Amino acid sequence: MSGLITSSLARKVVMALSGLFLVIFLVLHVSINLASVISPDFFNEASHFMGYNPIVQYAMQPILIIGVIVHFVMGFVLEAKNRSARGISYAKYQGSANASWVSRNMIYSGLVILAFLGLHFYDFWVHEMTYKYIEANPEDPTRYYAETVEKFAPFWRTIIYVVSFGLLGLHLWHGFQSSFQSMGVNNKYTPAIKKFTKLFAVVVPLIFAFIALYHHLNPITH
């Protein structure tokens, strides 16, 4: 039994650490994307740096991909273990009496976010790889703003992004603060941590949604 508990705890810690790592990426991502609304020139500069800097491309980018894979795989494993435990007679499960709606449906919001990441990778990462390595285009540090605005021109794509950001907020609402619990953080700062994580879960997805809607409503005119 102790081995089972230790194994379960280890999975939760890995899940928490990978989740916190992805939160750091979200902060960087939303900061750069917000620049596309405030200063297109700075957005172009920042995007060009991220797109051609070897440390970002060959170290940080693979680590990010591994972090995403680990987080979602561990989430599926924990969900499978939890569903298995609910079938055990002595582990009485009472749905909403034991957990909030958000926490009970983390796997579903996670699946939608995973599908959204697939679209996002196709829209931006695959496009970037094609531009640089398949078509072998020369560097153009001024192209990023126009390409980003163009992606949000279709109404359907903008709506998918906005809805996905809403689900990201729900995922963060429970997942961000539970990451600290999984790592055993329970002290006088816990109430402040909970307030901060809830605020983060609302503000960051709203900024992402605002950026998508802004570019959809403000297309580049030639």
Q: What total number of domains does the chain contain?
A: 1
Q: What is the pLDDT of residue 202?
A: 96
User: Residue 65: which CATH number?
Assistant: 1.20.1300.10
Residue ranges making up the domain that contains 184? 2-82+103-217
Low-confidence ranges of the chain (pLDDT < 50): 1-6, 89-93, 95-98
Q: What is the pLDDT of residue 84?
A: 73
In a domain, 6, yes or no: yes
In a domain, 88, yes or no: no
In a domain, 26, yes or no: yes
Would you say the pTM of this structure is higher than 0.95?
no
In a domain, 44, yes or no: yes
In a domain, 91, yes or no: no
Query: Token pair for residue 164?
Result: 């996905």
In a domain, 112, yes or no: yes
Q: What is the pLDDT of residue 90?
A: 43
In a domain, 58, yes or no: yes
In a domain, 67, yes or no: yes
Q: DSSP secondary structure string, the chain?
A: -HHHHHHHHHHHHHHHHHHHHHHHHHHHHHHHHHHHHH-HHHHHHHHHHHHH-HHIIIIIHHHHHHHHHHHHHHHHHHHHHHHHHHTSTTS---GGGTS-HHHHTHHHHHHHHHHHHHHHIIIIIIHHHIIIIIS-PPP-TT-HHHHHHHHT-SHHHHHHHHHHHHHHHHHHHHHHHHHHHHTT--STTHHHHHHHHHHHHHHHHHHHHHHHHHHHHSPPP-
For residue 203, the one-letter residue type is: V
Q: What is the pLDDT of residue 74?
A: 85
pLDDT tens for 15-70 read: 888 888 899 999 999 999 999 999 999 999 999 999 999 999 899 989 988 988 88
